[in-house]
Chains A and B, each alone.
Chain A
Amino acid sequence: MLGPDTAWYLAVAAVLFGIGALGVLIRRNTLVVLLSLELMLNAGNLALIALSRHFHNGAGQIFALSVMAVAASEVCVGLGLVVALNRRRLSLDVDSLSELRG
């Protein structure tokens, strides 16, 4: 088997996922939150492909493709929301969008 061991890939995916999750939790700018979400999704993709190679099973790659499609749609919607917020001259700070507070 070429290259590093599967565990390394998984470790990188975990680190990426953690960075993404932290970004979603900590950052307040909507655009950065969206970026962090993408990071998390791609961490997931990395793990899927690594495991696909490890088990010699193509299903993981197919899953990664569908996740990409979903991620693309999600970015469309998310960026659409950002544009809409900007047009209304609303703040892009996620903490100021708290209409749902109970």
Chain B
Amino acid sequence: MTGGSWLCLLAPLGGTIVITLCGTRIPRVAAAWIATTSCFVAFGGAVWAFLALRGERCVHLHSLVCTQPPHLTTAWTWLQSGTFHVGLTLLVDQLSTVMMLIVSGVGGLIVLYSIGYMEGDPEERRYFAYIAFFVFSMLLLVEGGNLLLLLVGWGLVGLSSYLLIGFWHERPSAVQAAKKAFVMNAFGDATMALAFFIVIAHTHSLSFGSFGYAGFSQTARDLIALGLLGGAAAKSAQIPLQTWLPDAMEGPTPVSALIHAATMVTAGVYLIARTHPIFEQARTIELIAAGTGALTLLVAGLIALVQVDIKRVIAYSTMSQIGYMFLGAGVGAYANGMFHLLTHAFFKALLFMTAGLAIHALGGEQDIRKMRGIGRLMPFTKWCFLAGALALVGIPPFSGFFSKDSIVASAAALGTWYGWIFWVCGIVGAFLTGLYTFRLWFLVFPGEPSPFVREHHHRHGRWEGSLTMLVPVGVLAVLATVGGWLQWSPRWTPFTDWLAPAARTLPAAVPTNTQEYYTSAATVIAGLVGIVIAWAIYAERRRLAVPGAPFWRRTLEEKFYFDLLYDRIFYTPAVWISGALRREFEEPVVLQTGTDLGETTLATGSVVRRIQTGFLRTYVLFLAAGAAGVVLAFLIAK
């Protein structure tokens, strides 16, 4: 079991090191296959760990639910200071194996896909080294056996995300986007680190078990939970730290699929599920997390309605779906949040990759206003995209139906006023999901191909893309369709049962059967209404924007003015302060000091050097005078 987890963690790291060390001595294709193989080896390790954990006998201690102690494996003590010590420890439990399987499995498929997508890029090797490094960082994040390793993984995924968003570094917009993502993530890292300091101050330890410590004051609990929530919101692009995600679409499409849909952005949900004991002790903060999710899912869904870049629409949809996961984890239904994370990894990676196929075939065009009718030329892409879209909207029997509905039902199960607000948000969100997803679908795929598509469409090889691109898309299309059948609450809940030892759903968030049924009906109907309206607006009349009020349309196109606001609050004052410091301090003081020092030295030197006459006798005279002076001094002293 522990062997599996180490294999899973170290295989991608090995891939990165091999690619980096070999450099240009190996062909590009070899680098690509090394990265892919390392990810699939990691998947093998994850399966090994999963099967070993599954094969263990259940211990029924106090309740009917399996309670297994988590398996920790420590390579060595990494850091020691007095009684505080942190080891390089991996944790294998139900939660981490699920994440290992998702990260390495979906990650492996996406790396395989990028072999075709990145073909011909002059810096392919660098790309594959980065992406294998990302998979390693993400695995470290989910396998880390204590909070410090979690934070290390957290920081490393931020770094590799930065590197991959800015992969095309000759584009200024990509570099800007990479910086933005890094700064926003660093903010979250900082709040998390602050929370950890509070934990250390109270418990002198950073193990996950330290959350059970009884001596925390309520303020300390709230602050710790708030710090963790800050980190989770930054990584998962939740309001108010969401603005980096749409810009991150500047990276290559497989990167968007891997980092900004399937794995990294969902780390926030994992964090909440992993550290749920502290969130449960700070219930207010946990509900704030749920509220953040509810707000984000609405705002992102609305903004997605007016975007014209195919990847940005999907990016906003990602934010919206992570909003659902936050809602689920926030109300205490961790397993439901994690289950949506799983199905979302399938269908969102699928959507990004089919979009990537279309973008690839059109030579890099991402504007949906120009892509009309591409489905006629790319039927495979079209049907796969449709599977992903239906899963996203949550139409049975596609996977999103099973995961999204139970989250909304858990909100209803709370029974309080905010529970019902969350419930309404979830239903409205389902409607918006149907609307923006099928706006995208009707604008891009069906109908007669537009002149632009006819002119620019070109095939790569015999099929719609290279085989390495089509195989992962096909696999994910199947998974997006059937992946949800793992669980159909309340009748059939193996996933929730599996996660129960690691993250048990709060009793308050377990819905009754009635709640499950009418919530399911409501979300499906809302989604269908969204689809029909999208059909009426975009398929029939081929309109491009949201009809009606120009004020709202403008607001949506400006993404609710978040970017503008941050510009005014942070960027402009920072620029002003640095300008003032430069004018008032650096130029007069720092720069001038250097000049003054030099000039004074020169002036002194030009005076003093007159002593050096070059005549021997002068020197002798000074010598004699000095000696006479010494003698005189002695005589006087006597």
A positions within 8 Å CB-CB of B = 21, 24-26, 33, 94-95, 97-102
Contact A25 B609 (CB under 8 A): no
Any chain A CB within 8 A of the CB of B614?
A: yes
Q: What are the residues of chain A within 8 A of B617 when measuring CB–CB?
A: 24-26, 94-95
For chain B, give the interface size range: 10 to 19
Contacts of A98 in B (CB 8 A): 613-615
Chain B, range 586-638, C-beta contacts under 8 Å to A: 609-617, 620-621, 624
In the bound complex, do residue A101 and residue B621 qualify as a contact, i.e. CB atoms below 8 Å apart? Answer: no
- Give CA–CA (A81, B34) in the complex, Å: 76
Question: Bound state CA distance, A24 and B612, in angstroms?
Answer: 18
* Closest beta carbon of chain A to B625's beta carbon, Å: 11
Residues of chain A within 8 A of B616, CB atoms compared: 33, 94-95, 97
Contact call B614/A100, Cβ cutoff below 8 A: yes
Q: Are B613 and A25 in contact (CB under 8 A)?
A: no
Partner of B614, one of A21, A26, A33, A101: A101
Residues of B within 8 Å of A95, CB to CB, are: 615-617
A24 to chain B: which residues have CB within 8 Å? 617, 620
Q: Which residue of A lies closest to B617 (CB)?
A: A25
> Roughly how many angstroms separate A65 CA and B306 CA in the complex, as a whole number?
106
CB distance from A7 to the nearest CB of B (A): 17
Closest chain B residue to A33, Cβ basis: B616
Residue among A25, A94, A100, A102 with most chain B CB within 10 A: A102
Residues of chain B within 8 A of A100, CB atoms compared: 612, 614
Q: What are 8 contact pairs spanning A and B, CB under 8 A?
A: A21-B620, A24-B617, A94-B617, A95-B616, A98-B613, A99-B614, A101-B614, A102-B613
Interface centre among A21, A26, A33, A97 (most CB of B within 10 A): A21
Looking at the assembled complex, report how far the CB atom of A21 sits from the nearest CB atom of chain B, in whole angstroms.
6
**A102 close to B624 (CB less than 8 A):** no
Q: Nearest Cβ in chain A — how far from B54, in angstroms?
A: 89
Question: B610 to chain A: which residues have CB within 8 Å?
Answer: 102
Q: How far is the CB of A58 from chain B (nearest CB, A)?
A: 25
Please name all residues of chain B whose beta carbon is closer than 8 Å to the beta carbon of A25 when the two chains form the complex. 617, 620-621, 624
CB distance from B431 to the nearest CB of A (A): 90
Residue of B nearest to A99 (CB): B614
Q: How far is the CB of B450 from chain A (nearest CB, A)?
A: 84
Q: How far is the CB of B17 from chain A (nearest CB, A)?
A: 61
Question: In the complex, which residues of chain A have a beta carbon less than 8 angstroms from the beta carbon of B624?
Answer: 21, 25
Distance of B635 from chain A, by nearest CB (Å): 14
Q: Is the CB of B612 within 8 A of A101?
A: yes
Question: Which residues of B are found within 8 Å of A33, using beta-carbon distances?
Answer: 616
Q: Check B620 against A101 for contact (C-beta < 8 Å).
A: no
A25, B621: Cα distance in complex, Å: 7
CB distance from B262 to the nearest CB of A (A): 75
Distance between A9 CB and nearest chain B CB, rounded to angstroms: 18
Cβ of A25 to closest chain B Cβ, rounded Å:
5
Distance to closest chain A CB from B629 (angstroms) = 15
Residues on A with C-beta less than 8 A from B612 are 100-102
Write the nearest CB–CB distance from A44 to chain B, whole angstroms.
Answer: 12
A99 to B610, CA, bound (A): 14
In whole angstroms, what is the CA distance A100 to B619 when docked? 11
Expressed in whole angstroms, the Cα–Cα distance for A101 and B617 within the complex equals 12
Q: State the 3 A-B residue pairs at the shortest beta-carbon distance, nearest first.
A: A101-B614, A102-B612, A98-B614
Question: Which of B609, B617, B621, B624 has most A Cβ within 10 Å?
Answer: B617
Mark interface residues in B356-390 (1 if CB within 8 Å of A CB, else 0): 00000000000000000000000000000000000
Q: Give Cα distance in the complex from A76 to B69, angstroms.
A: 93
| B378 CB, nearest partner CB in chain A, Å | 84
A102 nearest CB neighbor, chain B only = B612
Residues of B contacting A21 in the complex (Cβ-Cβ under 8 angstroms): 620, 624
Closest residue of chain A to B611 (Cβ to Cβ) is A102
In the complex, chain A residues whose CB is within 8 Å of the CB of B614: 98-102
User: What are the interface flags for B52-80 relative to A under an 8 Å C-beta threshold, 1 for contact and 0 otherwise?
Assistant: 00000000000000000000000000000
Q: A98-B615, A102-B610 are in contact. List 19 more A-B contacts (CB 8 A).
A: A21-B620, A24-B617, A24-B620, A25-B617, A25-B621, A25-B624, A33-B616, A94-B615, A94-B616, A95-B615, A98-B614, A99-B614, A100-B612, A100-B614, A101-B612, A101-B613, A102-B609, A102-B612, A102-B614
Task: Report the bound CA distance from A102 to B615 in whole Å.
Answer: 11
Question: Which interface residue of B616, B621, B624 has the most chain A CB atoms within 10 A?
Answer: B616
User: How far apart are B630's CB and chain A's nearest CB, in angstroms?
Assistant: 15
Residues of A within 8 A of B609 (CB): 102
Contacts of A101 in B (CB 8 A): 612-615
Q: What is the minimal beta-carbon distance from B341 to any residue of chain A, in angstroms?
A: 79
Chain A's closest residue to B608 (CB) is: A102
Smallest distance from the beta carbon of A6 to chain B beta carbons, Å?
Answer: 19
Q: How far is the CB of B362 from chain A (nearest CB, A)?
A: 76
B284 CB → nearest A CB, Å: 79
Nearest CB of B to A34, in Å: 12
Min Cβ gap A66→B in Å is 20
CA A33 to CA B615, docked complex, whole Å: 13
Chain A min CB distance to B352 (Å):
75
CB distance from B180 to the nearest CB of A (A): 59
CA distance A69 to B611 in the complex (A): 33
- Distance in angstroms between the alpha carbons of A95 and B620 in the assembled complex: 13
Residue of A nearest to B628 (CB): A21
Nearest chain B residue, comparing its CB with the CB of A27: B617
Report how far A24 CA is from B627 CA in the complex, Å: 15
- B66–chain A nearest beta-carbon distance, Å: 91
A86→B32 CA distance, assembly (Å):
80
Chain B residues within an 8 Å CB radius of A97: 616
Assembly CA distance A94 to B621 (angstroms): 14
Residues from chain A with Cβ under 8 Å of B613 in the complex: 98, 101-102
Chain B proximity of A101: nearest CB distance (Å): 3
Give Cα distance in the complex from A3 to B609, angstroms.
52
Q: How far is the CB of A19 from chain B (nearest CB, A)?
A: 13
Chain B 162-205 interface mask (CB, 8 Å, partner A; 1/0): 00000000000000000000000000000000000000000000
